[in-house]
Structure formats: C-alpha cells, structure tokens
Structure 1
Amino acid sequence: MTFEIGLVLGIIALAVVLFVSERLSMDTVAILIMALFMVTGVLTPAEGLAGFSNPATITVASMFVISSAIFKSGALNSVGIGLTRIGRKNYLLCLLSLMLISGALSAFINDTAVVALLMPVVIQVSHDIEVSPSKLLIPLSFGALLGGVCTLIGTSTNILVSGIAQAQGLEPLQMFEFAPAGILFLLAGVIYMFFIGRHLLPTRKHSKDLSEEFNLGEYMTEVVLLPDSPSVGEPLKKLGLVKNLDMKVMQVTRQKTKLSATPSLILQANDVLKVRCGVEKLKMLKEEKGIKLKSERKFLDEDLLTSDSKLYEAIVTPNSYMEGKSLKELNFRSYNHGAAVLAIRHRDEIVNEKPTHVKLSAGDVLLISANAQQADKLRENEDLLIISQTERSHFNYSKIIPVMIISVGVVMAAATGLVPIVLSALVGVVLLILFRCIRMDEVYKAIDWKVIFMLAGVLSMGAALEKTGAAKLLADYLIYGLGDFGPHALLSVFFFITFMTTNFMSNNATAALLAPIAIVTAQELGVSVKPFLMAVAYGASLSFMTPVGYQTNTMIYGPGNYRFSDYLKVGTPLNMLLWLLASLILPYFFPF
C-alpha cells in the first residue's frame, strides 16, 4: 500500500459516499472526482480528460441521437398500438407481451426512450382493463433492463465496459456477444414475473379522475365575488385571497363561461372562483369581506377545465435540470406560457399546499392544467415526460424509411466487424443529419449531457486504479481471500458485488470502478478476462432492488405510486435468481 494508492482509494471512497447520498448529482460527482485526480497529480490533465474522447463516451452520445431519431419518426407507434390491443384482452397476456416487447426494443434502443414510449400506453391499458398501473409498470422497467443486456448497444454500461477493455489493450466486446446469456436472463426474468413476481406487485389505487387521485377535492371550494368586494375591477393577482391568504385560484367562471385564472384577469362582480386551500384557510376564507362561499364539495376533472384546457400528468425525468429545484426557482409557469402545476406526487406523499416550493426529484409526478399551446410547450421540454392525455405523433414515412435503414446499417456494420461501433454510430448520426431525419438542434437535445459528463468523469476512476496499482492491490486481496475456491467462485463474487453496488450507486460508476479490478483479477489468476468483464457488464445493468439503481426504475416510481419496499419485495428474489443463473451460465458461454 503506497501513499498514491491510499490517495486513490480515499478519493474513490469519497465518490461512493457522494453517489449513494445523492447530495450532488451524478455528473457533478464524476467531474469532481476527475478534477481531484488531476489536482492531486494522480492523473495528468491529458489522462484525466481522456474520458471525453473515449470511444465509449462518443458511442453513447451517438446512440442517444439514433434512438431519438427513431422515436421522433413515429416508427415505434405501431408497437404501442399493438400492445394496447393485446392488453385489453387479458392481464397476464399483457404482462408477458409487455416484458418481451420492452426487452426486444431495449436491445437496440436506449431503454429510457423505450419506457418513455410505452409508459403512457401501459397506464391507459391499465385503466381499460381496470388493473392498477402498479401491476404493469415494474414489469415494463424490468423488461427494459433485461433486454438492454442482450447487445452491446442495449445499455451505455455495456459500451462503457467495452471501452475500458479497449483502453487497457484488450479486444473490444462485440455487438451480439452479450446475446446468448442476455436472452437467458431475459427469459428467466419474464418467467419469474409471470409465475412469482406478479403476486408480489402492490395494488395501489389509481383513479381515472386525476383531481381525485391527487386529493384536490379536499382542498377546493367555490367563492362568489360580491358587488361590494374591493377586488371588483382589479386584476386577479391583487385579489385579497391571493395576496393575503396565499390561496391558489384555479379557475374563474363568468356567466357560465369558464376562464383561465391568469394573474392579469380583471375580476367582475358575481365571478365564481374555484379556490384550493387547506382546512384552516377555509375558516379564514369565511371571514373575508366581499365574498361568499358557494359550496364546499369535491371537484372532478371536468370542473377544473376551461373550454381549451386539460389536466396532464408529467414526470420529472432522470438527470433532469429540474432536479433539486422548486417550481418557483424554475419560474415554471412563465417558462411554459402559463401552464399551472396543481399538485405534486413527491415520493410517497401528495403535495397540494404550496407545490411551487417543493424541491423536485426525478420520478416526481406533476399534475398540470394546460391548454393546447401550453401542452405543446410541455412536450418540447426535455426535462418532463407527459404520461397522460398523450397524443401519438403521426407516422412520418419520409423519415421512417431512411431512419430504419440507417439504424439497421449501424448495427450490421458493427456486428459484422466491418467498422468499430464508435465509427458506425458516428457515421449513422451524420447520415441522419444529411438526410434531414433529425436537425442539429434536435441532436443537441437528444444527447443526455449529464450521462456524457458522468461517463467521462467515472472513466478517470478506472484510469487511476490501473495507473497506481490500486486495481492490482484490490485484486490480490480478492485472490488471497477467495483464490482457493477457484475462478468460478471469484466470478460469482464479482457478479454479486456488482449488482449489489449498482442498486445504490450509478450503474456506470459501478462498472467503471469494478471493471479494471476484474481485468487484473483474471490476469493474476492466469485465466481469460472475458467472463469477469461480462460479469461486471451484466451485473451493473441488472438492478431491480431499488428505485435509484437504474433510470427506468426511477421513472416509474411516481406514476406507479410505488414505495421503496416494493422494489425490495419484487426485485430481491429476481436478483438472487439471476445471480445463481449467472454463476452457472457465464463460465459456459465465456470459458476461463
């Protein structure tokens, strides 16, 4: 143990603590660690920044663009239509089809995009067959995760592990090298969910009426503005209820016409205001001069809608700019042309009182009142995903054909070894731009820059472990403790450590940390590196035990109204099953 190795292990320990605590975003932690390695002299600036030019980073960025082009072309709309038809027939058939379809798509398309595409369909189908969405959303996410391990491009983690291997002078992993074991993992997961997992899924109440689901009825009442009210002739923002009592006016009805409650709306006598407030404020409301309470009843969706507005559910996406900020800080209403957030489902609670002050997290569900123009603006927001009242994009045949030809060409060129995956993906992006399948501004939006910066940052961890000999030291400790049991036992341990770690830390950070150690361990044992690398790649993506282990698990957390314990209950047996399966099949497909 040298001082340099101790320094590297100390910095990595700090990284693990920061990743698990989530005090800082994943990309911030990754860049911070990269900077520490360079400042302390462990890595030179060239070595520290090499992650930005690593083939893995460039390939992942390119695949984001290709996935976005496929998504925007409408080529996958038929998948959603077909799933809807199947789902309306039978719940078990729907669950089976859902996992197989999401798995098949995720093998070639970014799994976050697959879940974003299918989630609104799944929620609608659950309403049609009168099954709680919580019975289908975990299978959707798990299917996407299982399918992602079937190919090199199925998940960024596979590409990252391949890049680490290549950086250390090893052969990069091939496109369909993951398929034999990956398909068995997928089938095992589907069988588990069909026979066992579905019985462990929670049944959470999910009302078709969004105002009821978000408990708005308990906080809504109607107020009539009397002719002697001092607010008559004044804009809504100067209304005493808004200024003094900090209440939210949801709607104004004037002579049977429903009006949007914009701050500049000039109030008139006999206007009927729908107001949301708590019980204590309701008491204060009765004492306010110039108004009278018309009713105290629950309101349904149609009560809250103006002639051109609807209620929408939208989730805060993983790695969103909105994470850690409140709606007030984001100036949400102004930025989205007046769309109003009525309530937030934040983790296990519904927030109705002052939702604009809540610090947002990935997976939070926002209940938004918006007209058509505002809804279009919301759909353009890359940080939100509308999961209700969605309108499918039309098939764009002028784009579908070239998009599909280029995408298939990218896969086949890499699979046949004609060119490396990084080159085929880059050429694919260029062709998509030249054939006007995607615009340059859409290219920049399609790339999840937080993931790119995180990849570049975590790659420095592997470089530091390898350069200082820390990877060799850790490998020696593992061999000393378990070497007598042979490579099979060590392989099983690597898979176990990887999937356990990735349930609480970024899967890419886990892979970047463990892949160099796995390589050195295999070399010290004098066996093939391939099975150990594959154990890390598979283990880092098969994360089912927590909502924070993988992005798709986070995405379904709010819409499914899940709790942390639900993932443990359903995911733990599946992880144990796959651990046992991996210990048996990885040495068979990837001999020592």
Structure 2
Amino acid sequence: MNSELIWVVCLLGFAVFFFATGKIRMDAVALLVIVAFVLSGTLTLNEALSGFSDPNVVLIAALFIIGDGLVRTGVATALGAWLVKMAGSSETKMLVLLMLTVAGLGAFMSSTGVVAIFIPVVLSVSGRMQIPPGRLMMPLAFAGLISGMMTLVATPPNLVINSELLREGLQGFQFFSVTPIGLAVLVLGIFYMLLVRFAFRGESDDGTKERWKRRTFRDLIKDYRLSGRARRLAIRPGSPLMGRRLDDLKLREHYGANIIGVERWRKFRRVIVNVNGVTELRDRDVLLIDMSASDVDLRQFCAEQMLEPMILRGEYFSDQAQDVGMAEISLLPESELAAKSVREIGFRSRYGLNVVGLRRGGEAMDGNILDEPIQLGDILLVVGDWKLIRILGQKKRDFLVLNLPVEESVASPAHSQAPHAIFCLALMVAMMLTDEIPNTIAALIACLLMGKFRCIDAQSAYKAIHWPSIILIVGMMPFALALQKTGGVDLIVKGLMEVGGGYGPYIMLVCLFVMCAAIGLFISNTATAVLMAPIALAAAKSMGVSPYPFAMIVAMAASAAFMTPVSSPVNTLVLGPGNYQFSDFVKIGVPFTLLVMVVCVVLVPVLFPF
C-alpha cells in the first residue's frame, strides 16, 4: 500500500467518521474532501470538481423539482386521500395499498418526500382504525426504500451506477431495467410485513392508539399537560407592557410566561392575533399566556405588570379555532436545527408559531422546554395561525407536521394545475423510454413545462432541490477516482477475489451485497454507491464476466437500508411517529435484508446473465 493510497484511505475514514457521528454536516464534509484532494495533489482541480459536470447530478436536481411539483399541485395528497377511501376499515388492505402507492409514487420522486407526505395520512388512519401507528409506519418506510428499486430515476444510487457504466464506455441501463427486481422485492416486502406487523411496538399500548387518532384541542392540552398552565390576562391602563415589543419584554426569561396569542378588538369583536417577537402590545389587549415556570407567583406577576386575570374556560381554544390553531410537529432527520433549543432556533421569530409542549419517548416533558435541545424523534406542540402551520408543513425543510386536530379544516381541494403536473410526469417517462432523448434533457423539459403550466415557480423550484444531497454526491465522486488512481480499487478487488472469487460469480454477488450493506450502516446509500460502483465493475472485469449483474447488485444493495433507523432518512422519519426503538429496526430489518439479498442474487443473473 503506497503513501498516496494510505492518505486516501485516511481521508475516507475521516469522511465516514463524520458521516456516522453527524458532528459536521455531510455536505460540508464532502466539500472538505474536495479541498483536501486538490491541496494534497492527489487529484487535479478538474478531477476533483468533475462531479459538477456529471449529467446525473443535473438529473437528480431536476427530479427534486418534479417531485415538489407533484406535491404543490396536490397530486401526492390526492393519492393519500384515495388510499384512505379505498382501504376502508381493513388494516390488511390499508397496508397493501399503502406500500403499493408509496412504492409507485416513489419511483418518480424522492422517497423521503413521499414518506413525509404519507406520515400524517398513516397517523390519521391508525387513529381511525384504532391500531398502533407502528403497525403501518415501518411498512411505510420499507416501501419508501423499495421504491428506489422501481425505476432507473427512483433514487440517486441507481443513477450513480448507471453513470459509472457510461464512464467505462458501456451501455447504461434502461428506464425500467430495475423494475422486475423491485416488483419482486415489493411483493416480498408486503407479505413479510403482513406476517411480522404484530411484532411492532405498541400492540398493547392503548395510550399509543389514542395518541395518534385525530384529536381535539382538549385532547392535546391534556396529553401535553397544559391544563392549569394557560392564563388569560387583560392589560390594565398604565401597564408597563403597553407599546413594547415582546422580545424586549423578556417575559419568558423573567417569569416563564410565553405569550401565545393576543385578543384584540377588530370590527366590534375580539379576535386572536398571531404574535411574534416584534408584536407591540396595546391598551385593552388580552394576553393568552402559557406559564411554563410553576414557581412564579401569578399574583406578583399581575401586580408588577398591571394585568387583570380573566376567565379561561376549558373549551376556550375550541371556540377560537377559526383564529388559532394547534399542531404536532417533528424535526426532519437532515435538519441543521438538531440539538438546538427552541430559544436558540428563534422558533417564534422564524416561523411565527409558539412551542408550548414537547413529548420525548412517548412522555410529555414538564418545566422549561424552550431551553431543552431538540432531539430526533421529539414531538413538539405548536400554537399559532393555521396559515403559518400549513406553511411550516409545506416547506418540509426542518419540520414535518405530524398531526392536526379535528378543529382544522380537512377540505383541501386539488390545485387546478394537477392535470398538467401529471402530464409533465408522463411526458418525461415517455421521453426516457424512447432512448432518443437523454434522461437529463427529458427531466429538464418536464421542469420547464411545469414552470410554464405554473405547477411550480422559480423560487419554489430552487428551494425544492435538496442541495446537501447534490453536494454530497459531487464531493464523494472524487473518492472513486482517487481510489482508482492510487490502486485502492485493485487492492479491494484482490481482497474480494481471495474471499469469494474462487467460488464463482454468485458468491461474488453475495460479497458485494454484504459489503454494500455494511458500508451503508455508516454512510448514505448514495455515497455507498459512489464508492462501490468502480469496485463492482473492476471485480467483473477481473473475473471475466459481464459487469451488468455486478452493477445491478450494488444498486439494489444501496437501496436495501432496512437494518437501522439511521441507515436512511426514511427510517429516521418514522422513528418517533411509530413509537419505535433502535432494536425494532434491527429485529425486523436484518432478516428482511437477508431475504432481499437472496432474491437479488437469484434474480439479477436471470435478468442480466454473466
């Protein structure tokens, strides 16, 4: 092993360590890798930045935009409503239709986005059917992962593998080349989930059943132990609060008093006004306050601030549902806000909503939750304007809206552009099937048509692209080139040949699958595909067999991230809503991964002979 290869391996270890620990953002790690390769002289500037010119990077960005167009036009939401209607009261039918729908939709858009869309649907359905959400959440996540095996454009690893084939001067895969394998795994997954669903956590947990049904404001207040904390206080003449902004008052710091709304006279009636840090208080305002600090003397607080307590009936918030809303939200896995507190985030100033409750591990937390670092899996209860709650749910950049109470209007008609979005998607698929138009150009045409038909605007299109994923792909591509230049690929292939080369290509497929699955426990499936693609092709060349079955097994193994809740963002998304523990994924995911490996090893050589 030469010094350059040792340097590349150390750099790879550095990247894997920070990918696994999350101490540095994955996209930042990828950029650091590019800089290190150039400064060390391992790669030239053009070689290190070659990922930016890869057509598949543009294709992946375009697919993010198309997926967001399907969400904005209501196509994905309409599919969720259809799912609920067709399933009726049958849990078995619901599970089958859910996995079929998610896998089908995920074949053309981000699996993470699809799962995020369907989590509220599953929560609502599980509440209506009176079953633990855990019996449907893991099937939802597994279907999202299996969707990556349905089409060539379903997931970035497929495109990475295809790009490596083209780079080697070989013919790439067709649009539906992976579909037969994906369908076989999907059928296997459905039967597997029907058999093991009763092993999921929450089977006998009646509290879990109640937690995720469509609840009322009163239910949420009870679940988050808000009873007795809410206060309704009128500002008296001469109060030092009048004319001052909320941020300047620092009531949360001094008294543990969080103002979540203000009653104000408008057109001869009182309405609740949404508040933020710059809201100025006025004479005759009535404050709705959440008192999180139990040791504060309410009488002293009212005397110092010249406030007059008013009656607050139990049904108050239900009566004001037109003006104020509540919702449960959860942090998205890849959000940069993880481990930050509500106060550090500046949640009220950033989103215009107030956090009034926090549930961790199924239990509501007491005390000052505003300074508690938010962890993945935590469920937050927010209060504020319905419009801002919906905007928070639509952005899907940091938080996912999990559950809305019955007071929220459920009527959400599809946008008029939905038929145009479906047309754009169908046209893109048709162009990709012809092989006359490059996939990247077909996707760009679909994006331009979505803009023309106003399915998506320019600002939303740029926001729809998940830039950390793009940068991650671009930053990991130089690793494959560096391993090839320094002899790392040959060394790995030599090791694989010593382990399984003498037993034939089938054993080599098993070795590649196991290696991909093991690496995928620590880094993303996209990064795994980038690293393993050249190794798979070199192994095929060394054995004198066709590279296509080896390339396909890597693509399938990269999507088989079923074994832990951190193997994929899809798994992390359902961790909290499904009331799962780490061991649940190991218990269910490891056997299923082994079954998927058997199916792939048997089926891949049939479709792509050695």
Is TM-score (shorter-chain normalized) higher than 0.5?
yes
1:290 matched to 2:303? The reply is: yes
Question: What are the within-5 Å matches in structure 2 for residues 149-548 of structure 1?
Answer: 149-203=149-203, 205=208, 206-207=210-211, 208-209=215-216, 211-212=220-221, 215-217=224-226, 220=229, 222=231, 237=246, 242-250=252-260, 259=272, 262=275, 264-266=280-282, 274-279=289-294, 281=295, 290=303, 302=317, 308-336=323-351, 338-345=352-359, 350-351=364-365, 353-360=367-374, 364-379=378-393, 381-383=395-397, 384-389=399-404, 393-397=412-416, 399-548=417-566
Q: Which moved more, 1:311-320 or 1:521-530?
A: 311-320
Q: Secondary structure at the match of 1:136?
A: helix
In structure 2, distance between residues paired with 1:89 and 1:168: 52
- Cα separation, 2, equivalents of 1:101 and 1:213: 35
Return the alpha-carbon distance in structure 2 between the equivalents of residues 499 and 305 of structure 1. 52
Q: Structure 1 219/505 Cα, relative in aligned 2: closer, same or farther at 3 Å? A: farther
3-state secondary structure, aligned to 1:314: strand
Partner of 1:16: 16
Cα distance in 1 for partners of 2:170, 2:228 equals: 63
**Cα shift at 1:404:** 2.1
Matched, 1:553 2:568: no
What per-residue deviation string (whole Å, max 9, x for no partner) do you get for residues 107-163 of structure 1? Answer: 222212222322222111112112222221211111121122111011122112212
One-letter code of the match for 2:573?
Answer: M
Q: Distance in 1 between matches of 2:111 and 2:298?
A: 49
> Displacement of 1:241 after TM fit?
6.1
State how far apart, in whole Å, the 2-side matches of 1:235 and 1:286 are: 22
Query: Relative to 1, partners in 2 of residues 1:306 and 1:235: Cα closer, same or farther, differing over 3 Å?
Result: farther
The separation in 1 between residues aligned to 2:315 and 2:478, in whole angstroms, is: 54
SS of 2:355's equivalent?
strand
Residues 223-261 of structure 1 show CA distances to partners (whole Å, capped at 9, x for unaligned) of 767989976868695879645233434456799968558
Paired letter, 1:514: M
- Residue 73 of structure 1 corresponds to 73
Amino acid in the other structure paired with 1:328: R
CA distance, structure 1, for counterparts of residue 136 and residue 354 of structure 2: 29
Aligned CA-pair RMSD: 3.3
What SS does structure 2 have at the residue aligned with 1:217?
coil
Quickly say closer, same or farther: Cα 1:421–1:52, change in 2 above 3 A: same
- Distance (whole Å) between structure 2 residues aligned to residue 421 and residue 64 of structure 1: 14
1:566 partnered with 2:584? yes
| Alpha carbons of structure 1 residues 245 and 406: separation in structure 2 relative to 1, 3 Å | closer
Against the structure 1 CA distance between its residues 305 and 88, is the aligned structure 2 distance closer, same or farther, given a 3 Å change threshold? farther
1:461 is displaced (CA, Å) by 1.3
In the alignment, the residues of structure 1 paired with residue 99 and residue 498 of structure 2 have an alpha-carbon distance, to the nearest angstrom, of 41
2-structure distance, mates of 1:69, 1:490: 41
Report how far residue 64 of structure 1 moved: 0.8
Distance 1:387 1:288, change over 3 A: closer
1:469 Cα offset (Å): 1.7
**Corresponding residue number in structure 1 for 2:146:** 146
Residue 303 of structure 2 aligns with an amino acid whose one-letter code is: G
Q: Percent identity?
A: 28
1:312 Cα deviation from its structure 2 partner = 1.3
CA deviation vs aligned residue, 1:42-67 (integer Å, no higher than 9, x gap): 11111111111112211100111111
Matches of 2:313 and 2:191 in 1, distance apart?
Answer: 44
Structure 2 residue aligned with 1:29: 29
What amino acid sits opposite 1:327 in the alignment?
A: V
Unaligned runs of 5+ in 2: none
Q: CA deviation at 1:268?
A: 6.6
Tell me, in whole angstroms, the C-alpha distance in 1 between the residues paired with 2:483 and 2:332: 32
Q: Distance in 1 between matches of 2:238 and 2:201?
A: 54
CA distance 1:476–1:15, change in 2 (3 Å): same
Displacement of 1:379 = 4.2
Q: 1:295-326 deviations in whole A, cap 9, x for unaligned?
A: 9x997894796650110123333433534544
CA distance in 1, matches of 2:151, 2:16: 28
Cα separation, 1, equivalents of 2:359 and 2:462: 30
Q: In 1, distance between residues paired with 2:541 and 2:316?
A: 63
CA displacement 1:568-588 (0-9 Å, x = unmatched): 222222112212222322222
Alpha-carbon shift at residue 401 of structure 1 (Å) = 3.1
What's the counterpart of residue 53 of structure 1?
53
Q: 1:103 to 1:485 in 2, by over 3 A?
A: same
TM-score with structure 1 setting the length: 0.89
Pair 1:467–1:303, CA change in 2 (3 A) = same
Tell me by how many angstroms 1:373 deviates: 3.9
Cα distance between partner residues in 1 of 2:533 and 2:486: 15
- C-alpha displacement of 1:6: 1.3
CA shift for structure 1 position 180: 1.2
CA–CA distance in structure 1, aligned partners of residues 101 and 94 of structure 2: 10
TM-score after normalising by structure 2: 0.86
| C-alpha distance 17-321 of structure 1, shift in aligned 2 (>3 A) | closer
Report deviation, 1:221: 5.1
Look up the SS of the partner of 2:75 in the other structure: coil
Structure 1 residue 212: deviation in Å?
Answer: 4.9
What is the distance in 1 between the residues matched to 2:162 and 2:378? Answer: 34
Distance 2:168 2:366 in 1: 53
